[in-house]
Amino acid sequence: MTETPCPYPFRRAAALDPPEELRTLRDEPVVPATLPSGDVAWLVTRYEDIRTLLCHPRVSRNIMRPGAARMSKNNMMFQDSKMDPDPPAHTRLRRLVMKAFTATRVENLRPHVQKVADELVDGMIAAGPPADLNTALSFPMTIRIICELLGVPVEDRDRFRGWTDAFLSVSKFGREEIGRAMGELNGYMADLIKEKRERPRDDLISALIGVRDTEDGRLSEYELHWWSRLLLLVGYETTAAQLSASVAVLLTHRDQAKKLREDPGLVPQAVEELLRLKLLGSSLSMLRYVTEDIEIGGRTIPKGTSVIPVIESANVDASVIDRPDEFDVGRGEAHHLTFSVGPHFCVGAALARLQLQVAIETLLRRLPGLRLTVSPAELRRNEGALMEGLLEVPVAW
């Protein structure tokens, strides 16, 4: 297999495909785009403008407003005014969740995450090559970790893949299929929460049930249900897809993988660089609504406009990132916005980082001959979904 200088060898042609398409976008700080729903939103493409947008008090995640754009004509799960309120209601929600989902709780998982990664790599070695990284490691590891963290019974975890596929659909599934999956998962989570109210355990859902801010500061039943479901979804599929894509990038850039094998201390930096590449094509999750006129990129964006901060473009902005179109595991400070910034910074960022670091280090250490068995151009993406991960990542060693 020949080396390729492009860090995005398997991005689909219709995606924002660095360096050519994103370089063009960077020349236009605010541009219109038509969403899968047919609605129009404005793309904001430069790093500093996007940081401003994500922290701006006149920009809201509550897009259930008159004239707001929809992402999908079939899937409305991402538009929930009860769960995307403006401050101070949003501040209260985040504070309560973060009281339960602490950095200490996540870091204490490291030995267990290592144990799970080793067990799965043991299974790969015992079965022998070839293997699909998705089914052999990425998805089994992340679903096991998030289910154990939340307190989901191990025998139920295989049911979540179909539910998450539907929940994350933009155009892949129809309204009836999405509605059926939502109903099944909602019913499951309601039963699980009821059980943990009666018999609390040392898990995150039990902690969310018990957390309080003031005497009346508990999460409501709706909020508890919504956050439990969200943490399951984002803690599973997004991390698994990022892991498989990250390994594919490393195996395409063998010189960079060699650096990590020789110096495992670079793995945390490498994970940030891989996150900077934003391999999942999920800008649509960032849809926002402008509540009052604002100035962005030298343009006035009027009240009532729907906007999308294009994180992929911010992450390769040469004004803040040196050699942005190069993949370099020793880059150091990555300056990426993949986990957002400001009041909507991803609550699961620490858990995602932990799993990516452990899995990548374990694979490179224990399978030194790991390689793709197809060319990067043959890797197929899961199109029609919010998280367009790779359908399979065939490897041998």
Q: Containing H/E element for 189?
A: helix 175-198
pLDDT at residue 2 in the model: 35
Which domains, and CATH codes, for the chain? Answer: 20-396 (1.10.630.10)
Whether 102 has a pLDDT exceeding 60, the answer reads: yes
Can you give the pLDDT at residue 15?
Answer: 32
SS3 category, 62: coil
pLDDT greater than 50 at residue 45:
yes
Nearest to 150 by CA among 71, 217, 97, 205: 205
Question: pLDDT > 90: what percent of the chain?
Answer: 44
Average pLDDT over residues 251-264: 95
Local confidence band at 14 (pLDDT 50, 70, 90 cut-offs): very low
The answer to whether 206 and 196 have CB atoms below 8 angstroms apart is yes
Q: Please state the rounded mean pLDDT for residues 117-140.
A: 97
Cβ-proximal residues to 166 (8 Å cutoff; 6+ apart), any chain: 173, 177, 178, 180, 181, 182
Average pLDDT rounded to a whole number, residues 241-262? 94
**In terms of pLDDT, which residue wins out, 299 or 364?**
364
Given a cut of 60, is residue 211 above it in pLDDT? yes
Distance CA 144, CA 319 (A): 40
pLDDT of residue 64 exceeding 50, the answer is yes
Distance CA 257, CA 251 (A): 7
Burial class (CB in 10 A: 0-12, 13-18, 19+), 13: exposed
Contacts of 85 (CB under 8 A, 6+ apart): 62, 93
Q: Is the separation of the CB atoms in 17 and 8 below 8 Å?
A: yes
Burial of 368 from C-beta contacts in 10 A (0-12 / 13-18 / 19+)? exposed
Residue of 373 and 211 predicted with greater confidence: 373
Q: What secondary structure does DSSP assign to 297-331, as a single string? A: TTEEE-TT-EEEE-HHHHTT-TTTSSSTTS--TT-
Residue 98's Cα: distance from chain center in Å? 18
Closest CA to 227 of 139, 343, 348: 348
pLDDT of residue 123: 98
pLDDT at 265: 96
Q: How confident is the model at residue 101 (pLDDT cuts 50, 70, 90)?
A: confident
Q: Strand 40-44 to strand 306-309: parallel, antiparallel, or no bridges (unpaired)?
A: parallel
Q: In angstroms, rounded to a whole number, what is the distance separating the alpha carbons of residues 92 and 157? A: 31
Average the pLDDT over each of 51-65, 66-80, 126-140, 203-217 and give the range with the smallest value: 66-80
Write the CB contacts of 99 (distance below 8 Å, at least 6 apart in sequence).
Answer: 211, 213
pLDDT at position 62 over 80: no
Please list, in sequence order, all residues whose beta carbon lies within 8 angstroms of the beta carbon of residue 357, skipping any fewer than 6 positions away. Answer: 267, 268, 271
Instruction: Measure the CA–CA gap between 177 and 172, rounded to whole angstroms.
Output: 10
| Res. 135: pLDDT tops 90 | yes
Is pLDDT above 70 for 77?
Answer: no
Give the integer Cα–Cα distance in Å for 390 and 11. Answer: 9
Hey, which residues does 169 pair with through a beta bridge? 385
Amino acid at 148: E
